[in-house]
């Protein structure tokens, strides 16, 4: 093992001739996080547009489809907010994403009246379900989330029910962090920045939230490969999700530059390299849909693999490549210890990243289902100051791409090392 390893390291110097710059990555992130791609969610088929962009990139790089097409259809249900969204407080039009977010599982709701203030801690569960309208204050977010999770679980079980629709407005001092939901609940929940409310005055709200639940949405994974020179049926796989949170109303989109246009840029950069430098094994690239909605694209792939999962020598899942100032995290590093040691040695020898931290198993991205099926894999995300996550500010010009090149070099060398000589 050690002998093979040293041999490979000496070869790596030979491979690393041209310095990889970040111009291409920047151009990819600019495109995918632009307004045109509407946050790569499921409003106006923005996901399909992003999938097409990636498939065209795969094609121009020279990747081959695994199964005649670069696409794999992925059906799932998803709750969306494609139309006009209005929340007015005492006559003032509030800004979605900045002043408030709507819970991703929310139902449509129209409302025009005063809202009473109720302290969340004074409520019991029956009140929460049976009464119509609350404005909640002085609520600990975790308490609230626990209650909501419970509500969502109940709604999932009784998907059709005659329970009265409710509106909840919850005040928060926390950062507004959105997500995506594959179900629709019976409530409309608005998370509102606490400082907006003047508690000395009555609160008059005009609310018009239009939610569209899509029970049979069809999205796509995008898959391409560089066939192996000797063993076509054996694979090293790079994956990254291309979806993000999409639109919250017809004016507000979540750009998802760091999450995960940056990861798509990285796998495209790697695809360029492996297309010019084919390996003994095939190298496949998968851009997953539905990650933000519950790792749905990867779940579908694992249930319907385009090549046997047992033929995957190693899988590298990539997310959040925007700032690697403090190095990288290797999820599953503690599970695949031997491979992690090889990775760490490459890094120390070449000084690619300041450090690689190690984590155990985690169901926090698309590698998870592969991991559960026994496929050796790491999930990498970069570490460094970057304040924007699942919000309207995660834009291309905010992403510094520090140590992007180091991460690229590391992933490339590690993938090559994983292929037996
Ligand atoms: Zn992500």
pLDDT in tens, 372-407: 999 999 999 999 999 999 999 999 999 999 999 999
The confidence score (pLDDT) of residue 131 equals 53
Q: Rounded to the nearest whole angstrom, what is the distance from the C-alpha of residue 117 to the centroid of ligand 1?
A: 36
* Contact present, 333 and 358 (Cβ < 8 Å): yes
Say how many Å lie between the CA of residue 244 and the centre of ligand 1. 7
pLDDT, residue 194, reads 85
* Residue 103 CA, ligand 1 centroid: distance in Å: 19
Pairing of strands 377-382, 312-319: parallel
pLDDT of residue 392: 97
Q: How many CA atoms lie within 13 A of 411 on its CB side?
A: 39
**What is the distance in A from the centroid of ligand 1 to the CA of 203?**
37
Beta strand 100-102 with 187-193 is antiparallel
* Cα-based distances in Å from 52 to 23, 71, 379: 21, 9, 25
CA of 189 relative to ligand 1 center, distance in Å: 24
The pLDDT of residue 115 is 80
- What pLDDT score does 21 carry? 86
308 vs 83: CA distance, rounded Å: 42
Residues in contact with 28: Cβ distance below 8 Å, sequence separation at least 6, in sequence order = 57, 261, 264, 265, 268
Tell me how far the alpha carbon of residue 292 lies from the centroid of ligand 1, in angstroms. 7
For residue 151, report the distance from its CA to the centre of ligand 1, in Å. 26
Q: How far is the CA of 23 from the centre of ligand 1 (A)?
A: 22
Going from the Cα of 319 to the center of ligand 1, the distance in angstroms, rounded, reads: 5
Task: Tokens 């449509």: give the residue.
Answer: 108
**pLDDT, position 229:** 97
| Protein residues within 5 Å, CB atom, of ion ligand 1 | 259-260, 319
CA nearest 226: which of 180, 284, 174?
Answer: 284
Give pLDDT, residue 128.
57
| Residue-by-residue pLDDT tens, the chain, 421 positions | 333 444 444 444 444 434 458 999 999 999 999 999 999 999 999 999 999 999 999 999 999 999 899 999 999 999 999 999 999 999 999 999 999 999 999 999 888 888 877 666 666 666 555 555 555 554 433 334 445 444 444 343 333 333 456 777 888 888 999 999 999 987 788 888 988 888 788 888 999 999 999 999 999 999 999 999 999 999 999 999 999 999 999 999 999 999 999 999 999 999 999 999 999 999 999 999 999 999 999 999 999 999 999 999 999 999 999 999 999 999 999 999 999 999 999 999 999 999 999 999 999 999 999 999 999 999 999 999 999 999 999 999 999 999 999 999 999 999 999 999 8
Q: Measure 241 CA to ligand 1 centroid, in angstroms.
A: 7
């Amino acid at each position: 093992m050690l002998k093979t390893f040293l041999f490979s390291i000496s070869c790596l110097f030979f491979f690393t001739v041209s310095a990889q710059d970040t111009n291409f990555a920047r151009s990819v992130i600019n495109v995918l996080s632009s307004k045109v791609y509407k946050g790569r969610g499921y409003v106006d088929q923005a996901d399909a547009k992003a999938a097409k962009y990636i498939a065209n990139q795969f094609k121009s790089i020279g990747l081959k489809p695994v199964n005649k097409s670069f696409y794999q259809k992925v059906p799932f249900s998803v709750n969306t907010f494609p139309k006009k969204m209005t929340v007015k407080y005492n006559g003032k039009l509030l800004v979605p994403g900045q002043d408030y977010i709507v819970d991703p599982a929310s139902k449509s709701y129209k409302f025009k009246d005063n809202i009473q203030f109720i302290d969340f801690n004074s409520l019991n569960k029956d009140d929460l379900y049976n009464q119509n309208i609350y404005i909640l204050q002085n609520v600990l977010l975790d308490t609230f989330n626990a209650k909501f999770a419970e509500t969502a679980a109940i709604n999932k079980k009784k998907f059709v029910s005659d329970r009265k629709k409710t509106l909840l407005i919850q005040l928060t001092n926390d950062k507004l962090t959105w997500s995506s939901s594959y179900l629709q609940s019976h409530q409309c929940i608005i998370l509102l920045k606490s400082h907006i409310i003047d508690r000395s005055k009555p609160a008059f709200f005009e609310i018009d939230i239009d939610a569209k639940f899509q029970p049979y949405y069809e999205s796509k994974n995008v898959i391409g490969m560089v066939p192996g020179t000797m063993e076509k049926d054996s694979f090293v796989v790079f994956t990254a999700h291309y979806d993000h949170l999409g639109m919250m109303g017809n004016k507000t989109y979540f750009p998802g530059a760091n999450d995960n246009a940056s990861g798509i840029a990285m796998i495209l950069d790697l695809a360029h390299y492996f297309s010019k430098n084919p390996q003994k094994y095939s190298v496949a690239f998968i851009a997953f849909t539905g990650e933000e909605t519950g790792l749905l694209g990867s779940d579908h792939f694992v249930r319907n693999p385009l090549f046997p999962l047992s033929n995957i020598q190693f899988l590298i899942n990539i997310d959040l490549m925007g700032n690697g100032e403090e190095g990288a995290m290797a999820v599953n590093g503690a599970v695949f210890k031997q491979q992690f040691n090889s990775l760490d040695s490459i890094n120390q020898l070449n000084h690619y990243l300041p450090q690689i931290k190690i984590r155990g198993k985690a169901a926090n991205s698309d590698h998870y289902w592969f991991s559960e099926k026994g496929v050796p894999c790491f999930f990498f995300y970069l570490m460094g100051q970057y304040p924007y996550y699942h919000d309207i500010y995660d834009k291309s010009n905010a992403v510094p791409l520090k140590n992007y090149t180091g991460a690229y070099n590391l992933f490339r060398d590690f993938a090559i090392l994983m292929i037996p000589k």
